[in-house]
Amino acid sequence: MPQMNPLLWLFLFITFILTFLTINPLIYFTKKFTFSPKMSSTSLKTFNWKW
């Protein structure tokens, strides 16, 4: 097996962290909006009203 470039490992590591940091809040907000239908319907109405 050929040895991997340390820079490649670093790149993969940074990509992983960035992906994690991006996905985590998304999951959190999705759960928050899913568990509170009142809030999501209100924001949907506001969104429709703006358009």
**What count of other Cβ atoms lies within 10 Å of the Cβ of residue 40?**
13
Contact residues for 43 (Cβ-Cβ < 8 A; gap 6+): 33
Q: Determine the average pLDDT of the residues in 24-40.
A: 68
Task: Please report, for residues 20, 30, 38, 51, the alpha-carbon distance to residue 45 in angstroms, rounded to integers and kept in the order given.
Answer: 31, 18, 11, 10
Higher pLDDT pick, 10 / 27: 10
**What count of other Cβ atoms lies within 10 Å of the Cβ of residue 36?**
11
pLDDT for 18 equals: 92
Percent of the chain with pLDDT over 70: 59
Residue 49 pLDDT level (bands cut at 50, 70, 90): low
pLDDT for 48 equals: 58
User: Rounded mean pLDDT of the chain?
Assistant: 74
pTM over 0.95: no
